[in-house]
Amino acid sequence: MNYYNVVFQPGDVSLEVAEGSTLKEAMNDVGLEFDFLCGGRGTCGKCRVKISKGLTTPVIREQEMLQVKEVDEGIRLACLTTVHNDLIVELPNQKKLAHNILIASEERAFQIAPQLHKVFIEVDKPSRETQSSDWRRLKEGLVKQGYKDHELESTVSILRQMPDVLRGANNLITAVMYESTVAGIEAQDSTKTMLGMAFDIGTTTIVGYLLDLYSGKELSVVSTLNPQTTFGADVISRLTFANHEENGLIKLQSAVVEAINKLIVEAAQKASILRNQIYGISIAGNTCMHHIFLGINPQSIAVSPYVPALSEPLVLDASELNISINQAGKVFMLPNIAGFVGADTVAVLLATELDRSEDIKLVIDIGTNGEIALGSKEKMVACSAAAGPAFEGAQISSGMRGAVGAIDHVYYRDKLEYSVIGGEKPLGVCGSALLDTVAGLVELGILNKRGKFLEFEQLTNPVAQRFKENLIQYEGQGAFLLAEADSTGHGRPIMITQSDIRELQMAKGAMAAGVRVLMETYGIQAQDINEVLLAGAFGNYLTPHSACVIGLIPLELESKIKMIGNAAGTGSKLALLSSGEFRRARDIANVVKFVELGSYPRFNSIFGECTYFNIK
């Protein structure tokens, strides 16, 4: 078997690869994580990489999925490209290594200085005369490294391990330190690696990133459905469950802790490390997820004045929370801002550096509860808008989440076209396609400003004529057909009904009203905003133009929109990798001014106006 050298850029990660392996396999081998949306089955066309040296002919499937121009530029799909010679492969810059973290398609540098660090020490041998205890001699070793004797602390579990580790390692040990606390001891010199995991606990999805805390390198990424969804799809139903079901809080907490522990096992297996080597995790999530994870009853969030029980950042023992990392490991909890503006928003602001920005930026994390922040280093305001689950496909007649089988984008060309996640027959429509569909209907004049389907005879735009077939009546209301029954995966038509449009109007109206109120509070107009950053899964998939046409985002900001991916996850990573960033999270939570929409003057009329569409 022949082996060839493959170098991944940026980061100069190189390895020898057996002939015929795919680039995906090579990336797995070297621990480079990459989102293969269709699981690497060559159906989604999203795993684009650029071959800058050693270009080979694309396979037929690649030719189908890539534009000719892209093929000429050396773009290939990582799951379909096999290795037959030495290669240099450029990855999209989301995979930058070392201490650069992708955010808003830009890297931002920060000082890697993890909260946890390791110190190798040679402990003095025990002496019959001095009777200096194991712990005393260990402390003396740390004092030689600059620690202050009277500040040094430890825990019972460490003290229990200490005698065996010291004697087993002939007094050569590595201490894992959190500030002046010995959080772990390992035999011999293990200072080369220091592992941690950053988590983003979403209401729907939990994502975990296994990181080398010294290099900043991401060793694996894992995610899972938040198992709490069994008990309720959104924050409000979780709050209700926690407060009214017997042992509701405990059930919710156990579910999320179990999910996180499974992710830890999975991430460790993928990276071929032991979970015992993981000494810290960071947690970002909304206030409700935050409280439930800690086992704190979130009842105060559910009732007026909706305050959190806890907003400050916290460092806790992993064992206290039953997190299965090293038994001496730590859990770093990012702070909350308010009952409905949580640690996930703080993480997004940490990642987007709103607090350091010269320009005024608008940051939107769209979800069931949309969080919106506006500001610059001068000041920041934030609010939460109860959008409801329409953006996630719930409450929509043909709606579904953005999973395999979902129509994710809709194009009004000569005829109606759409793309389906996974490429198979469609099963439903997800939020981004809902936006595309409705935006098209608005632009074609098929919907009026108030969101009502016009009669076909009333349509004035000639292009609208092309979609006559799609305009149907369904159960006594107007509807727009996306896919006939026989072209779908389940034999039922997929459509957007008048009711669905009302749902979307409520959802986008809530978000838009939030943006409007923040601008008023801040004292600016839309044109004063220099950048709109869209965070979260939905924000990353929507078509900016559609979002502006329906009025989710002010129309004049369309060209200023940037997708910034899972910024909450990025913020969680930053807090884990750098004690300075963790401190900054506290500062951000302290300075962001929370704006309570419910008590804002004229909120109802603002909201009413915002449910309208932007008809030019």
Q: Which amino acid is at 254?
A: S
Nearer to a second copy, 131 or 460 (CB): 131
The minimum distance between CB 193 and a second copy, in angstroms, equals 28
Residue 348's nearest CA partner among 314, 373, 367 is 373
162 or 325, CB closer to a second copy? 162
In the complex, least distance from residue 304 CB atom to a second copy, rounded to whole angstroms: 6
Q: CA torsion 266→568→179→311, rounded to 10°?
A: -120
Q: For residue 314, what are the contacts with CB-CB under 8 A and spacing of at least 6?
A: 294, 331, 332, 333
Question: Quick one: 158 or 351, whose CB is closer to a second copy?
Answer: 158
Give me the helices (H) in 169-298, please.
235-244, 248-271, 287-294
DSSP 123: P
Q: Report, in Å, the least distance between residue 118 CB and a second copy.
A: 22
- On whether the CB atoms of residues 250 and 166 are closer than 8 A, the answer is no
**Is the bond leading into 554 cis (omega within 30 degrees of zero)?**
no
Residues of this chain that bind a second copy (CB under 8 A): 126-136, 155-156, 159-160, 162-164, 167, 294-297, 299-300, 304-312, 316, 320-321, 336-339, 341, 594, 596, 598-599
- List, in sequence order, every residue forming a beta bridge with 133; answer none if it has no partner: none
Please give the sequence-ordered ranges of beta strands (E in DSSP) within 36-110, or none if there are none: 48-53, 75-77, 87-90, 100-103, 106-109
Q: How far is the CB of 612 from a second copy (least distance, A)?
A: 29
Percent helix, strand, coil in the chain (nearest 5)?
40, 25, 35
Cβ nearer to a second copy, comparing 242 with 547: 242
| Closest-CA residue to 250 (of 224, 231, 226) | 231
Q: Residue 186 belongs to what H/E stretch?
A: strand 181-187
CB-wise, 56 or 299, nearer to a second copy?
Answer: 299
Closer Cβ to a second copy, 333 or 390, answer by number: 333
Min separation Cβ 129 and a second copy, Å? 6
Mapping DSSP onto H, E and C, the string for 306-336 reads CCCCCCCCEEEEHHHHCCCCCCCCEEEECCC
Nearer to a second copy, 132 or 191 (CB): 132
Asked if 89 and 51 count as a contact pair (C-beta separation under 8 A), the reply is yes
Instruction: Output 473 or 590, the one with its CB closest to a second copy.
Output: 590
* Rounded Cα distance, 592 and 365, in Å: 16
Reference 380, options 215, 594, 543; nearest CA is 594
Q: Give the nearer residue to a second copy in terms of CB position, either 3 or 594.
A: 594
